[in-house]
Amino acid sequence: MRRSPITVFAAGMALLLPVLFTTAIAASSWLLRYAALALVLGVGLPALASLVRDPRTRRPAVLGAAFAAWCLVCTAFARYPIVTLFGTFGLGTGALFSISLVAAWAIGASVDEKGPALIEKALLVAAAINIAVAIAQMATDLKPLGLDLLDRRSSGLLGNPVFLAELLVGAFWLVLLRSPGRWPAWALYAVGIGAGLQVSGSRLPLAIAILALPVAAFFIPKQFVAAIGVALVLGIGLGTLLTQHAGGASTSSRLAEPLGASGNRARLETWRAAGTAIAQRPIVGFGPGRYNEATGPLRSYALGRAGPDKIFIDAHNLLIEYTTTTGLPGLALLVTFLIAIVRRRITSVPLLVYGLAILDGHLVEPQNVAVTPLAFLALGAATAEGPALRPLLPTVVRALAAVIGTGLTAQLLVGGYYFQEAALDFNLDRAHAALRLLPPWPQTAALVGRVYTFQSKTTRHRPDLVRQARRWQRIAALRDPSNATQWQELAEGQLADGNRQAARASLRASLHWNPWSTRGLDDLGTLELSEHHWDAAIRAFEKSLRAKPVQPEAQRLLDQARAEKARA
């Protein structure tokens, strides 16, 4: 049977999104996938229009379209609409990403009768590739390939161990719901999942995988469940041996850490801050992907102690994230959209459970440009009933949308290549090329500023190059004023120029968005001390040391400020 083009695209999306990786592209663990979402939008939005017309899919399609439209409304009312539309560099979960989730669902819901099985196979192959890479990361040094461990944990090809773990939990459910007649092959796969989860160091996904066994025993032959369970335990043991050999952080070793060290306290504190932010803008929120803008100035002392310069760009909870960024209407539309999906006739239970398992992980972990769209793709395919009615949009319009999506994907990839090259060799032409081709992220302007800074240092600090460096650093800060890091970098450049007044303003802007930044507080304290503003210096150093008590240099400068004040 010939596969429909959208079925082939859906399977390719399921296979490629989790494995796309190259060191030739800047931030390859996410930019490649972010670029691919442009093509997902180009294919998925026309499919969504057809699903709205189909009586079988009208309700979830209308709700999905309403959620996507509301994301655009929230973007229009956001303080910084452009960065809200494209999302934050390194995460990319802005309005376009949120709309792509609906597009991914529409793609999955539009596949033909054989599509769900093909998507399941693609997801299993993608997970197997990531398992192999994760094990290799822990067994040997893959840093020359750009695949180093992150916090002594394996991340596969996804750039972050938690995303790897979420992918593997979904795959584990697919394995559990396989035919028991081929249990030796699935048991071997489960060994790999157990090892992958253990080397990822992610606790909740491993707990979900273990809890899945007794749940599955209610509707799957117990002998098969027992075999898969034993295989999972063997894999965990293999992962333990690998982490001990490499000095890595395994899931079981991290379970023994104190509660505060795990980041749980930080999550609770940032969720508490989200309550205040939601009350400030309950209808339209702060715009998709703008969680840090909403909660940054509200960071508590407890959150500062948990990580003074560690910023929660995402809420690490899907419901809190969208309530904060799209308001109560956005949350209501998202939840009713998901309910409408699961209330349809299920044609693939494995894909339904796969999608829900990933979304469960999103209750304590951030969204991701690969894993989250896969969850919605799986939810769409789980209820696919064959080809939709005749497409609503003409063929030429659908083809044009796909071509535009392909062109945008290519543009982002070329821009990412120039960004990477400019970051390596400080080539100004390549930096400007990245500036033109990539969305107006602060980091592209900051890169141009760094190149000018480098050139000024190699040419005896030419004043014109220094002015250009500061100009682009300021542009970077103004592109997203809630980005404390960009203000901090601008301030450090201004301090190097001796422009203390401008540096003080930049440091205060940085500390507005991250009040407990020890980096910013220490720089501000040093600046105030140099100008004999002893009280201001003492306040800055005392606050910094409250957030991070062990800072010998800050303590020395605080003592100096106190001594000079006493002498005065």
Alpha carbons 509 and 521: distance in angstroms, whole number:
12
**Percent of the chain scored above 90 by pLDDT?**
73
3-state secondary structure of 150: strand
Quick one: which of 536, 544, 541, 545 has its CA closest to 558? 541
What's the confidence (pLDDT) of residue 3? 78
CATH at residue 505: 1.25.40.10
Would 54 be classed as within a structural domain?
yes
Would 414 be classed as within a structural domain?
no
CA distances from 236 to 166, 214, 216, 249 (A): 16, 18, 19, 13
What's the confidence (pLDDT) of residue 261? 46
Alpha carbons 53 and 50: distance in angstroms, whole number:
5
Mean pLDDT of all residues in 319-326 = 97
Would 336 be classed as within a structural domain?
yes
Are 385 and 345 within 8 A, CB to CB? yes
The answer on 434 and 377 residing in a single domain is no
The answer on 454 and 377 residing in a single domain is no
What is the count of structural domains for the chain?
2
- Per-residue pLDDT of 49-99, as tens digits, reads 999 988 889 999 999 999 999 999 999 999 999 999 999 998 999 999 999
The answer on 345 and 247 residing in a single domain is yes
Mean pLDDT of all residues in 96-114 = 95
The answer on 498 and 388 residing in a single domain is no
What's the confidence (pLDDT) of residue 203? 84
Across all residues in the chain, what is the average pLDDT? 91
Would 139 be classed as within a structural domain?
yes
- Per-residue pLDDT of 455-498, as tens digits, reads 988 887 788 999 999 999 999 999 999 999 999 999 999 998 89
What's the confidence (pLDDT) of residue 311? 81
Quick one: which of 150, 152, 151, 156 has its CA closest to 136? 156
The answer on 79 and 224 residing in a single domain is yes
Alpha carbons 166 and 316: distance in angstroms, whole number:
13
Domain that holds residue 448: 426-567
- Per-residue pLDDT of 358-404, as tens digits, reads 999 999 999 999 999 999 999 999 999 776 556 666 778 878 888 99
- Per-residue pLDDT of 423-447, as tens digits, reads 999 999 999 999 999 999 999 999 9
The answer on 473 and 370 residing in a single domain is no
pLDDT top residue among 148 and 64? 64
Mean pLDDT of all residues in 148-156 = 90
Alpha carbons 225 and 211: distance in angstroms, whole number:
12
The answer on 176 and 32 residing in a single domain is yes
The answer on 343 and 245 residing in a single domain is yes
The answer on 484 and 386 residing in a single domain is no
Alpha carbons 293 and 313: distance in angstroms, whole number:
8
The answer on 432 and 319 residing in a single domain is no
What's the confidence (pLDDT) of residue 259? 45
What's the confidence (pLDDT) of residue 255? 67
pLDDT top residue among 356 and 216? 356
Any residues with CB less than 8 A from the CB of 69 and at least 6 apart, and which?
none
CA distances from 209 to 141, 240, 558 (A): 28, 17, 50
